[in-house]
Amino acid sequence: MSPTRSLGPFQVSPIGLGCMNLSHAYGVPPSPDDAASLLLRALELGVTHFDTAALYGFGANEALVGRVLAPHRHRFTLASKCGMTGVDGQRVIDGRPKTLKATCEAALKRLRTDVIDLYYLHRWDQSVPIEDSVGALGELVEAGKIRAVGLSEVSAATLRRAHAVFPITALQTEYSLWTRNPEIAVLDTCRELGTAFVAFSPVARGFLPGTLRDVSAFDAKDIRRAMPRFAPANYAENLRLLDGVAEVAREAGCTLAQLSLAWLLHRGEHILPIPGTTSVAHLEENLAATRVTLTPAQLQRLNTLVHHDTVRGARYNAATQTEIDTEEF
């Protein structure tokens, strides 16, 4: 397996770090000191791809990344996102060019940098033509504010429309054994266009490691409470899938989390997983997945065990589903 992977013009570690849950989404975040320790440990272990967004903690995550990592800015590729932010305490999707440019200016200050390497449209605001939003991001490249443009949670058709306006360096979407939607069209389209595919939630928001058993104990602000797959009845059925996965992990001599990440790395050189964690131990475990080798037979068994027909429950609830543009089974 290659020691680095291409993220457009950047060569980065095969496994990056999704920074979201250091500030957002899965209940009470770690203390600032603990979050800083995790970021610095990731850098020490060779992570060179850090992913944040204006949405995460409504700016708090970008501020954290900036405060901790700005002194080491030359050592890593920095990705952030616009188009979905917090406004007066509410999450708002807004893809108007003036909004994206204003969000970028604020992000640069929070991140304590002169340029963001990769800047994604976090969600396509479907009231604004994708060509207009991507055109504005292209202007940010020309102005030297960002180096490359990405998209998140869009279909192959939207990617093609956007790419015709300005080269799309990366597309980011959820991808793991239990979320196989990218296999419908986006993975192949990324390969065709030379667009990197960044896989968020690669260990299925805590499902695939096998340690999350009681979903009734989620914090009140945990976003998984609204996800059908984590509803108690569905989740109990989904847990049964892990018995067969655990057998493959034992054969491969790795943990379930490492197996899940290795499966993704084996799917294609243009795929870059960005697991998030609040635990240094889990961080170290995840990064060791680059040393796991899976046989074709093991990969096939995993594909047979966990896929869209064996998983119970939709990825998002109906309201959230209207906000994304990805293909669905």
Query: What pLDDT is stored for residue 24 in this prediction?
Result: 86
- Given this model, what pLDDT does residue 1 score? 60
For the chain, percent helix, then strand, then coil, each to nearest 5? 45, 15, 35
CA–CA separation, 22 and 279 (whole Å) = 10
Residue 160's pLDDT is 98
218 residue type, one letter: F
The single-letter DSSP state of residue 122 is S
In this predicted model, what pLDDT tens digit does every residue of 89-130 receive, in sequence order? 899 999 999 999 999 999 999 999 999 999 999 999 999 999
Distance, CA of 87 to CA of 59 (rounded, Å)? 11
The low-confidence residues of the chain, meaning pLDDT below 70, are 1-2
* CATH number of the structural domain 5-204+264-291: 3.20.20.100
Quote the pLDDT of residue 27: 87
198 neighbors 171 (Cβ within 8 angstroms): yes
Give the catalytic positions in this structure: 56
> Residue ranges of the domains in the chain?
5-204+264-291
